[in-house]
């Protein structure tokens, strides 16, 4: 098989397929200046909500994002219809597959897991505001919310959005792409004292990446539709409806089940000032994983009895894949450090993630899947 055919084949195996009959996404040839989001947002609202009185439209800028700029538009005193306008961050097409994001959005919406996608524009998307409250590092530890999150992740993982062939994980493909960007884009890194002193060398990063692929691919974790970025702020709790929903699907793809869960456990530490002492204890993880396995087996019609062997196996898989999550976001942060216009210490974050990888690796690798 030629190299091009192999590449096309791999793309088909990792691609998400939108259900037949899904609504067509409207496209507007409007460009929104990321330094003046409100003006561009108003042009889009004119198209999407022509009945709204321009004098009564209010906007709210959301400042939590580390990839994009986000503004909510609504009519005064009418918060049941809020349109979110998200402007892609500078050069984020290097790290986000925008076509894949749209497909994920459509598939998740078709399965009741995501809001409506209203349109795309030249450098962003507009979608429905999901009612509820974004969670924080305390919330994800709450026993009630913890189980709601586990069930919701199981629901997403059970969605079949493929074209018939067995899906393949895109983790290694994506990590290799990020690494090549870091390698080529940081040719001037010798002049950056911080990178030189605090970030592991390219040789070390490549060696660890090869080691990870060799070891973590052997763990037998199923490949499912994953969110891949389940940090606290990407989980919305609707107390009135009694459920949680996940938002922001930029990194969604087919991936290892255990990666998605391990990545979420890493996010217990928080984002702005991560504290890895908040990583869930074994007891908390087993509670979470038991709820998850029950729901996943139910959604995939495999009963709902969870054996101790299944539970212990998933526990080991999840903690090993949590290592890969540190590396993935370490690479991501290095790329963002160069291009992003968002106020955030991306370089410091990269250093933190790589440090945590090397700190936890010995203990995690000592874990063994029960026979």
Q: Is residue 149 part of a domain?
A: yes
CA 7 to CA 12: how far, in whole Å?
A: 9
Extract the tokens encoding 306: 């969870």
When mean pLDDT is compared across 79-83, 111-115, 124-128, 308-312, the lowest value belongs to 79-83
What is the pLDDT at residue 190?
Answer: 45
**Confidence bin at 4 (pLDDT 50/70/90):** low
The better pLDDT of the pair 21, 256 is held by 256
Mean pLDDT of the chain: 91
Average pLDDT over residues 59-65: 81
**Confidence bin at 11 (pLDDT 50/70/90):** low
**Confidence bin at 164 (pLDDT 50/70/90):** confident
User: Looking at the predicted structure, is the pLDDT value of residue 139 above 60?
Assistant: yes
The better pLDDT of the pair 37, 138 is held by 138
Residue 253 belongs to domain spanning? 134-366
Residues 33, 173 within the same domain: no
CA 89 to CA 228: how far, in whole Å?
A: 19
Count other C-beta atoms under 10 Å from residue 339's C-beta.
16
Q: What's the structural domain count of the chain?
A: 2
Q: What is the pLDDT of residues 95-111, one digit of tens each?
A: 999 999 999 999 999 99
Which residues neighbour 289 within 8 Å (Cβ) at sequence distance 6 or greater? Answer: 150, 261, 311, 314, 315, 318
Q: Is residue 371 part of a domain?
A: no
Q: What is the pTM of this model?
A: 0.93
Average pLDDT over residues 247-268: 97
Q: What is the pLDDT of residues 294-343, one digit of tens each?
A: 999 999 999 989 999 999 999 999 999 999 999 999 999 999 988 888 88
What is the pLDDT at residue 7?
Answer: 54
Residues 346, 236 within the same domain: yes
- Cα–Cα distances (Å) from 30 to 8, 24, 45, 62, 159, in that order, read 32, 18, 11, 21, 33
Residues 215, 355 within the same domain: yes
Farthest CA pair distance, the chain: 67
User: Looking at the predicted structure, is the pLDDT value of residue 227 above 50?
Assistant: yes
Nearest to 54 by CA among 31, 29, 74: 74
User: Looking at the predicted structure, is the pLDDT value of residue 187 above 90?
Assistant: no
Residues 197, 113 within the same domain: no
Q: What is the pLDDT of residues 272-307, one digit of tens each?
A: 899 999 999 999 999 999 999 999 999 999 998 999
Average pLDDT over residues 33-50: 93
CATH number of the domain encompassing residue 217: 3.90.1200.10
Residues 165, 280 within the same domain: yes
- Cα–Cα distances (Å) from 283 to 36, 104, 226, 312, in that order, read 47, 33, 24, 12
User: Looking at the predicted structure, is the pLDDT value of residue 2 above 70?
Assistant: no
CATH number of the domain encompassing residue 12: 3.30.200.20
**Confidence bin at 21 (pLDDT 50/70/90):** confident
Extract the tokens encoding 228: 């891949």
């Amino acid at each position: 098989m030629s190299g091009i055919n192999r590449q096309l084949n791999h793309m088909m195996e990792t691609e998400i397929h939108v259900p037949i009959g899904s609504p067509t996404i409207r496209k507007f040839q409007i460009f929104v200046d990321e330094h003046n989001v409100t003006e561009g947002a108003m042009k889009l609202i004119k198209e999407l909500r022509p009945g709204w009185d321009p004098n009564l439209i209010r906007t709210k800028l959301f400042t939590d994002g580390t990839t994009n700029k986000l503004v909510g538009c609504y009519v005064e005193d009418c918060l049941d219809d809020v349109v979110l306008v998200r402007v892609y961050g500078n050069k984020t097409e290097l790290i986000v597959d925008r076509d894949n994001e749209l497909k994920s959005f459509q598939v998740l919406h078709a399965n009741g897991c995501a809001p409506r996608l209203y349109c795309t524009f030249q450098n962003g998307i507009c979608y429905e505001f999901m009612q509820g409250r974004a969670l924080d590092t305390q919330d994800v530890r709450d026993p009630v919310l913890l189980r709601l999150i586990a069930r919701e992740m199981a629901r997403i993982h059970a969605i079949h959005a493929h074209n018939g062939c067995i899906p393949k994980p895109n983790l290694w493909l994506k990590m290799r792409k990020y690494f090549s960007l870091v390698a080529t884009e940081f040719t001037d890194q010798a002049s950056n004292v911080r990178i030189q002193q605090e970030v592991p060398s390219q040789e070390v990063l490549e060696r660890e990446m090869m080691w990870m692929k060799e070891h973590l691919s052997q763990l037998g974790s199923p490949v499912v539709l994953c969110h891949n970025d389940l940090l606290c702020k990407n989980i919305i709790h609707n107390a009135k409806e009694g459920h949680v929903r996940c938002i922001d699907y930029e990194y969604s793809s087919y991936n290892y089940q255990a990666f998605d869960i391990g990545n979420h456990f890493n996010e217990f530490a928080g984002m702005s000032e991560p504290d890895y002492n908040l990583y869930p204890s074994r007891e908390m993880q087993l509670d979470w994983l038991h709820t998850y396995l029950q729901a996943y087996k139910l959604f995939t019609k495999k009963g709902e009895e969870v054996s101790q062997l299944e539970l212990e196996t998933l526990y080991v898989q999840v903690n090993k894949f949590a290592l890969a999550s540190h590396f993935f976001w370490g690479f991501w942060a290095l790329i963002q450090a160069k291009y992003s216009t968002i106020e955030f210490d991306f370089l410091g974050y990269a250093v933190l993630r790589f440090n945590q990888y090397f700190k936890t690796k010995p203990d995690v690798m000592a874990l063994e899947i029960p026979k």
